[in-house]
Structure 1
Amino acid sequence: MRRTPAPPKLYFSFRSPYSWLTVRRLRQAVPDAFEALQWLPYWDPDERTSAALQARGAEFHYVQMSRAKHLYLLMDTKRLAEREGVSMAWPIDVDPHWELPHLGWLAARRAGRAEQFYDEVTAARWERGENICDPAVLATCADRAGLDPKTVVGAVDDEALRDEGTGCLERAYLDDVFGIPYLKWGVQRFWGLDRLDAFLRVWRPDATAPTEAVPVAAVPGPYDTDTTGGCG
């Protein structure tokens, strides 16, 4: 008897503009993407999460990028957004604590509101340029998604969610994830926005990503003052 293959894994990050654009196109091609794939958050871990990862014999594969590459990413993202017909505002990250939105998403998933919270956080970050690592901004996202803001913002102090988050990053380590977005189905692996069509051809040949929209101008903004890392 042939065994039914496990659903594909989608590693995403609220930090990465490429993750945002890829997920946007994926959901247009596959409306039930939140149910059809295993969603796994991926982020730059803080000291506490890094120690927990190390205790499991895992590490963080991502290598910090140079400033030159970081500045290129800014320009490339605006170009891609224009090509997709998407208006965006580049957010400014100052000493971000990425556990806040990503563990908050795990709390939202626990409450059955993962998709709604995802939409609110990405809209805040990429459409309005807000700091999603600000507890007040995150609380507003939670409230708009029909969640208890205190539960979402307090996810960083929830031991069970901390452990679940560490588990997500451990799986990323075992799956050799080195950048975001990253799709894995069986032995097949696809990294980046430009590999989405290839993934769909393998996984769901009847589903195709939408054609590019008529370009619109991205909302101009200052360069990001965050470190030259991130999930590209």
Structure 2
Amino acid sequence: MTVKIQVFSDFVCPFCFIGEEPLRQAVEGKDVEVEFMPFELRPYPMEGMSPKSDYIQQAYKQSVQPLAQRFGVEMELPMDLDPVPHTHLAHQGYQFAMEHGQGQAYVDAVFKAYWQEGQNIGDVAILTGIVRELGLNEAAFQDAITGGTYVQDHKEALDLARNAEIQAVPTFIIGNQKLQGLHSKESIEQVIADQANDGMMNGASCGPEGC
């Protein structure tokens, strides 16, 4: 039985970036279907936070760095991007990439651009460069983003998160079980196994009264 996994995530969330690694390890070789689900921590026009603020500096040193080391993820807080960029355009770009069969590759590239290369993922030019590297049509991408082609799709994606009562990211919905926050490879694997077994036990069947 294929286990469906929805990953609610925002590109500027450090724990979302770190969480990609244990998830990747957990699903390797398994019958799963992983879908990235957009979420915005601070939707436009809400002002982004400053990476130089005491709050973010303290959180990064005390929480993010230790967890990044634990999970073997290389990352740097983009200090020059102040305030933290909005991500609505990056999420709209995901819709474009997904339509062209490069959804997960785009997600990986945007995370890398922000957390490892310090690039402004709120800039259409940066996003266009990412699309170019994926071998997609950059002119079509620019037209779609500047023309608002995916504004409604992104709104509907955020509505899905709201309806699923997602209040923090990352949040993983594995089958019918919700996991909020960063989890180990082993924890994710266990939930996948449980959900696969539930599906086998509760699959379609027939009884004396019919099917």
The alignment's TM-score, normalised by the length of structure 2, stands at 0.74
Contact 2:8 2:172 (C-alpha < 8 Å) held by counterparts: yes
The within-5 A match list for 1:151-230 is 151-194=140-183, 197-204=186-193
Q: Does 1:18 align with 2:15?
A: yes
Contact 2:22 2:71 (C-alpha < 8 Å) held by counterparts: no
- CA change 1:87–1:10 in 2 (3 A) is closer
The CA deviation string for residues 144-194 of structure 1, in whole angstroms up to 9 with x for no partner, is: 111122333444445552111111111111111011100123542111113
* Unmatched tracts of structure 1, length 5 or more: 51-66, 207-232
* Unmatched tracts of structure 2, length 5 or more: 47-52, 196-211
Mean Cα deviation higher: 178-187 or 163-172: 178-187
1:193 match: secondary structure: coil
Contact 1:45 1:99 (C-alpha < 8 Å) held by counterparts: yes
Give 2:119's aligned residue. 130
Q: Does 1:139 align with 2:128?
A: yes
- CA change 1:42–1:28 in 2 (3 A) is same
The within-5 A match list for 1:5-154 is 7-31=4-28, 36-43=33-40, 44-46=42-44, 69-75=55-61, 76-92=63-79, 93-95=81-83, 96-154=85-143
Give 2:209's aligned residue. none
Aligned residues: 185
1:194 match: secondary structure: coil
Contact 2:2 2:33 (C-alpha < 8 Å) held by counterparts: no
Contact 2:121 2:127 (C-alpha < 8 Å) held by counterparts: yes
Q: C-alpha distance in 1, partners of 2:158/2:184?
A: 22
- CA change 1:182–1:154 in 2 (3 A) is farther
Amino acid at match of 2:76: A
Q: Which has the larger radius of gyration?
A: 2
The CA deviation string for residues 189-218 of structure 1, in whole angstroms up to 9 with x for no partner, is: 111113664343122369xxxxxxxxxxxx
Amino acid at match of 1:7: K
Contact 2:6 2:173 (C-alpha < 8 Å) held by counterparts: yes
- CA change 1:79–1:192 in 2 (3 A) is same
2:8 match: secondary structure: strand
Q: C-alpha distance in 2, partners of 1:37/1:158?
A: 29
- CA change 1:153–1:25 in 2 (3 A) is farther
Please tell me the root mean square deviation across aligned C-alpha atoms, in Å.
Answer: 2.9
Q: C-alpha distance in 2, partners of 1:36/1:157?
A: 31
Amino acid at match of 1:13: D
Query: Which structure exhibits the higher relative contact order, with contacts defined as CA atoms closer than 8 Å and separated by 6 or more residues?
Result: 1
Residue 128 of structure 1 and its aligned partner are, at CA, apart by 1.2
